[in-house]
Structure 1
Amino acid sequence: MVISRKQESPKCDIFINEVKLKQIEKFKYLGTIISNDGKINREISVRTAQAKINFQKMKTTLTNKHISIETRKRAFQCYIEPVLMYGCEAWTISNQIQNKPEATEMWFLRRVLRIPWTTKKTNERVLNQANKRRALVRTIRKRQATFLGHVMRRGKLEHLVKKIMDGLATWLGPGKVSDILAAVKDRDLWRDMIANAYKQGTS
C-alpha cells in the first residue's frame, strides 16, 4: 500500500523472490481499516455498519418500552458504543467527518425511543425527550485527549497525534498548542481539562 494525498495513488512495484506483490487500496489491521488516502471515512462507515448490526441483535431490549430509558441508554453505552468507537483515539475528526458520528448517534437514539421518521421530530426534540445531550463526538474527543496524555508522558510516538492536536486544541478551550503540551505533563491538570471540556458539551 502507498498512502498518499494524491487523487490517484502512486504505483509501487515490490518483488519478493521475483514475485510481484499486489498493491491494494485498503486492508484491515488489528480490526481497523487502513486506507491508501490516509482518511478514516471507510473505517467510520465500517464501524457504523457493525454497530447497527449489534443494535439489531439487541433491538428487543433496546427498544422495549417496559424498560426505563435510562437503563436502555446504559445498555447502549455498554454494548453498542464500544463497537462504534473502536480505535477512535487515532481518528482525525474534521468538521465534515464530525457530521457522520453525530448523525449515527441520532439514528440510534430515534430507534431506542421508537420514533419513526414520519413524525418529523427535530433532533433537538428527540434529545429533549431522551433527556440527553449529544455525547458521541465529545466522548471521542475525551478518549483522544486521554490517549494524547498517555503518549506525551511516555515521550514517544508524538507524530501519531499531531493531526489530533488541531481538533483537541479547540475542544479543550482557548489556548496555544504549547499550553496543551505543557498541561499533559500534569496528570491531574490534564484530567481536569478533559472533564471540564466534556462537561461543557462542546464538540
Structure 2
Amino acid sequence: MVRCYILSTLLYASETWTLSKETENKIEAFEMWLYRKMLKVSYKDRMSNEEVLNRVSEERKLLSELKNRKMQYMGHILRSNGLQKQLLEGKVGSKRKRGRPRNTWLADIRNWTGKSLHDLARTAEDRTKWRTMASRASKGQGTI
C-alpha cells in the first residue's frame, strides 16, 4: 500500500530534482516517519530507526530509488537527440554571481558516478553498462 500510493506520489517527477545533503536527509526522515506511522510508534517510545526497519521488514530504499530514477532518466536523455540533450550539453553565457555556485542536476550525477558528461554519454550508448552503472551509483558504490 505504501509503495503504491504514497511513494509513487512522492516520487512523481523526482527525476528532475537537484539533491542536496539537506534534501537527502529530509527524504530519509520522511521514510522513517512513514514507517513509524504505520507501526503507530511515537518518538516518545525511544525506538531506534533500525528496530523500526526490522519490524516492517524493510531497508531504507527511498533515496536509492530516487537516484536510480534520475540515472535512468539521464540515460534516456543521453541516448536521444532532442531538445533536452541540447539543453544539457549547452552553456548559457552570463556573468556568474558571487558566492558558492548552486548544485546542478548534472553535478549530482557526476558526483555519484565520478565521470564527465562525455564519458556518461559514451556509457549511455550501451544500455547494459548504463544500467549497471546506474544501480551502483544509486547504492553509493561509485563507478564501474
Do they fold alike, i.e. is TM over 0.5? yes
Q: Which runs of 5+ in 2 are unaligned?
A: 91-103
Which deviates further from its counterpart, 110-119 or 159-168?
159-168
CA–CA distance in structure 1, aligned partners of residues 29 and 18 of structure 2: 17
Name 1:81's counterpart in structure 2: 7
CA–CA distance in structure 2, aligned partners of residues 111 and 164 of structure 1: 32
Residues 181 and 91 from structure 1, CA distance in 2 versus in 1: closer, same or farther, beyond 3 angstroms? same
Residues 170 and 127 from structure 1, CA distance in 2 versus in 1: closer, same or farther, beyond 3 angstroms? farther
Q: Which runs of 5+ in 1 are unaligned?
A: 1-74
Q: Which has the higher contact order (CA 8 A, sep 6+)?
A: 2
Name 1:127's counterpart in structure 2: 53
Q: Does 1:169 align with 2:110?
A: yes
CA–CA distance in structure 1, aligned partners of residues 89 and 25 of structure 2: 21
**Number of residue pairs aligned between Structure 1 and Structure 2:** 126
TM-score using structure 2 length: 0.74
CA–CA distance in structure 1, aligned partners of residues 111 and 38 of structure 2: 31
TM-score using structure 1 length: 0.55
CA–CA distance in structure 1, aligned partners of residues 5 and 25 of structure 2: 22
Residues 134 and 144 from structure 1, CA distance in 2 versus in 1: closer, same or farther, beyond 3 angstroms? same
**Cα RMSD (Å):** 2.3
Corresponding residue to 1:95 among 21, 32, 57: 21
Residues 129 and 170 from structure 1, CA distance in 2 versus in 1: closer, same or farther, beyond 3 angstroms? farther
Q: Deviations over 1:49-106 (max 9, x none)?
A: xxxxxxxxxxxxxxxxxxxxxxxxxx21111111111111111111112122111111
Residues 121 and 201 from structure 1, CA distance in 2 versus in 1: closer, same or farther, beyond 3 angstroms? farther
CA–CA distance in structure 2, aligned partners of residues 161 and 136 of structure 1: 29
After TM superposition, list the pairs within 5 Å mapping 1:125-164 onto structure 2. Answer: 125-156=51-82, 157-158=84-85, 159=87, 163-164=104-105
Identity of paired residues, percent? 31
CA–CA distance in structure 2, aligned partners of residues 89 and 161 of structure 1: 18
CA–CA distance in structure 2, aligned partners of residues 126 and 171 of structure 1: 28
Corresponding residue to 2:123 among 180, 183, 188: 183
CA contact (8 A) 2:112 2:140 kept: no
Residues 177 and 126 from structure 1, CA distance in 2 versus in 1: closer, same or farther, beyond 3 angstroms? farther
CA–CA distance in structure 1, aligned partners of residues 10 and 74 of structure 2: 20
Higher helix share: 2
CA contact (8 A) 1:105 1:136 kept: yes
